[in-house]
Amino acid sequence: MGVSSRQELFQVHRASAAQLELLHREADGDLSPAEQAALWEALRDPDVQAARDALERSVALLLQPPPPAGRSVAPAVLQDLRLSRHLTALPPPVAAQSVAAQVSRDIALGRRLEQAAPPPLPTSVSPAALADIQMARQLTAPPAPPLGAGLAARIAQEADHNLRDLLRQAPVPAAPSLAPELAARIALEAAPSHAAFQPVSPAHNPAPLLLVGGLLAGLTLLTVTSAWPNLHAGALVLQTVLEQVAPITALGLLLLLATSALVTLKPLPAVRRFGTAAFVLAGVLTMPPLYQAAQGGPGLSFGQAVVVRGEVPGNIVSIGGDVTLEAGARVGGRVVTVLGDIKQAPGATVAGETSALLGRAPGETSDVLPSQGVGLATAAAFRPLMGWLGAAAWPQIFVTMTGGLLLLLFVAGTAPVLARRQRHAPMRTLALGILMLSALLLPAVALGLGGLLAPSLLMLALVGLLIATGLSVSVYDAGRALACRLRLPVPDTVGAFLGLSALAASLSLPPLAFALALVGGAWGAGTLFLYRQDSRI
């Protein structure tokens, strides 16, 4: 026990026995209220207070855990002893020796080798060996000639003399020079080895090209011949439809095609800047008339029957529906139907022509509808289809199809790659998309006006699918850019949802939805084409 512990015990013994009893009972927690008051009264004495503090410290010291035992240093000492014994048993280090003599000898040897003449090169023994072999053959005795060899040798010698005489008498022709052939052979051997094996270009055979060209020309002639009865009606339909559209629309379409071709062929910065302004101007010129034509416009209907009771100042065009002119109806222009009949009641007048493509019209000298075969089957099959196309909720169907295609592209993992490609070359992808859609739409319209509705509708379905796929790419790109700008989590998924939501919201404004569908579809279609070309390369 230390000095502090002895002092604390001394202070405890200085208090009286009764006070010590109270302090001990306080430590045990057995004091009554009266005893507690007596203790508080006694604590006014400094000795009692000191005794109480000393007792508390002693109890705290007794309750402390015992100090940890000292760690043994025997293993460390044993390891040091073993290391010392090992170091004592090692042999003393070898004293360093000078290497100056060895270096001096090496330098002297190097100098002698440099000054000495090089050894002579070995000479070939082939000439000597060849000379020895020839000498041995000459020294070797020839074998004895067989019986009759002398006679044969004599005949051969006489024949040789006679031949020599004849050759001396005959004129000697001038021998041709071998120098050009020898020089060509030397040049051929001196040239690289691969020069002798240059591929020979095959001869051009025009037969396959002529065969394919003749086949295409025959198919074209057959198609024109089969569709010739409907071409007049088709031309009349096209003329009537074009009259329904403003003339400035043609200027806008030409500007659009010319700008797309220029941007595709020469994607320079100045051309791209000009193309932006040209695209905007062409959109302003073409979008309103195209939307009016898609909605039907005055005198134009798709898949619906038209009944005329009063006076109509312009033309009437019905695609996929019948036109009924009741009594008293007066039409100031033409009446044209595609896949429909024209029914004219007595008293109804038409100022222009009446023509039905794949249908019947009153007063026609030549029936455009074939009387049998494929024409009747085509009209019967496609009339319900045209009626359904005219009555379907196309905006909702188109948005649903765009969402499904976007989901397919997203699952396949190509949506981010396409969006990145579209963002890096926006003008070129838009120009390529416009050219692609034009290349499909123009033949489809031509085939439809010629009466070939099956391939025409197939091409139109392909155009619709291409626009929906391209629109899905454009919607995803725009939504992802917006999500990244707003720093939203998971921009790929959230961007796709934002793009589809914006497209669905645009349906409340049909002109805006129509413009977004055309521009976004053409833009994305060009991206698909450019991505396909890059993947092939």
Q: How far apart are CA 299 and CA 473, in angstroms?
A: 36
pLDDT band at 316 (very low <50, low <70, confident <90, very high): confident
Check residue 1 and give its pLDDT. 46
CB 469 within 8 A of CB 517: no
In this prediction the pTM is: 0.49
- Average pLDDT of span 38-43: 80
Reply yes or no on whether the pLDDT at 506 is more than 60.
Answer: yes
Reply yes or no on whether the pLDDT at 291 is more than 80.
Answer: no
Instruction: Give the contacts of 251 (CB within 8 A, at least 6 positions apart).
Output: 285
Instruction: Give the contacts of 14 (CB within 8 A, at least 6 positions apart).
Output: 47, 50, 51
Q: Which residues, listed in sequence order, are joined to residue 336 by a DSSP beta bridge? A: 317, 355
Reply yes or no on whether the pLDDT at 383 is more than 60.
Answer: no
pLDDT, tens only, 87-101: 887 676 666 677 888
CB 503 within 8 A of CB 516: yes
Instruction: Give the dihedral of Cα atoms 206, 207, 212, 216; nearest 10 deg.
Output: 90
CB 39 within 8 A of CB 21: no
Q: How far apart are CA 358 and CA 381, in angstroms?
A: 11
- The winner for highest mean pLDDT among 247-256, 427-436, 451-460 is 427-436
Percent of the chain past pLDDT 90, that is, above it, reads: 0
Q: How far apart are CA 242 and CA 234, in angstroms?
A: 12
CB 395 within 8 A of CB 510: yes
Provide DSSP, 108-155.
Answer: HHHHHHHHSPPPPPPPP-HHHHHHHHHHHHHHSPPPPP-TTHHHHHHH
pLDDT band at 2 (very low <50, low <70, confident <90, very high): very low
pLDDT, tens only, 60-78: 777 777 666 667 788 888 8
Check residue 152 and give its pLDDT. 61
Q: How far apart are CA 385 and CA 461, in angstroms?
A: 13
Reply yes or no on whether the pLDDT at 19 is more than 60.
Answer: yes
Q: How far apart are CA 313 and CA 331, in angstroms?
A: 6
Average pLDDT score, the chain: 73
Check residue 263 and give its pLDDT. 86
Check residue 487 and give its pLDDT. 85
Check residue 354 and give its pLDDT. 78
pLDDT, tens only, 443-490: 887 776 666 666 777 888 888 888 888 888 888 888 888 888 888 888
Reply yes or no on whether the pLDDT at 297 is more than 80.
Answer: no
pLDDT, tens only, 165-197: 666 665 555 555 666 676 676 666 655 544 444
Q: How far apart are CA 53 and CA 282, in angstroms?
A: 102
Token pair 């040897």 is found at 109
